[in-house]
Structure 1
């Protein structure tokens, strides 16, 4: 048998094992019309930070870093000229986000694929002659 405690602010219901053995008789309310077709982008084109598809990343301990990186990628993808992709500008923000993740391994476990890999090949190479050298003269 369940017991009920009501305070000024909360309604607390204590359930027994028997309460959990029967199917719930409660139904969730239907979504509001304004919430039905929301995804990562709102109708006005802004990012929807409350989208369930993002999980808790925008509001976790590394939420600021995640929002900075994700917003940067979104802006880069909006670029009208595909030859002027700005994703390279997002790499420092990605690195800051991964650095923050490393401080919270229980919340953000490392990739299961193995040790960290060089992610430089996932971003387009900068234009111009900016090749890296190891400091040795040829």
Structure 2
């Protein structure tokens, strides 16, 4: 499961959560935290807030939480990568989606005026990532 939101500074943040983390978060809600609104209006609101509905297995591409990611020019590559991740059953989740995410990043690079913030976030994360290969090669 994932969600996206826009920060006050205009940057989008996409957060990926495992099914176990999601289940744990929803099952830990106490009864006092559950809204007493009419169930049908509550369902409508939650379906508009979440990009993926595990009960129906559908992705809500109109969810505001996805921001403009579903729109052209890279909307279709984003949808392919996001769908792959959501429906992935491999461990770790989404490992079978690398090609789709690489295609999405390539598309983002073709349109830096539109997706510059996403590219900058990727560059920041890759710079902060530890170099696991260098340690492994010295241990042998």
Q: Unpaired segments of 5 or more residues in structure 1?
A: 1-31, 122-138
Structure 2 residues without counterparts, runs of 5 or longer: 1-39, 131-140
Deviations 1:30-74 (A, max 9, x none): xx9363121112351211111000011112210110000000110
Which structure has the larger Rg over C-alpha atoms? 1
Tell me what 1:48 maps to: 60
TM-score normalised by L of structure 1: 0.50
1 or 2, which has the higher strand percentage? 2
Q: Match of 2:82?
A: 70
Counterpart among 72, 77, 87 of residue 60 in structure 1: 72
Higher relative contact order structure (alpha carbons within 8 Å, sequence separation ≥ 6) = 2
Q: Deviations over 1:9-49 (max 9, x none)?
A: xxxxxxxxxxxxxxxxxxxxxxx936312111235121111
How many residues align? The count is 84
**TM-score, L = length of structure 2:** 0.50
More helix by share: 2
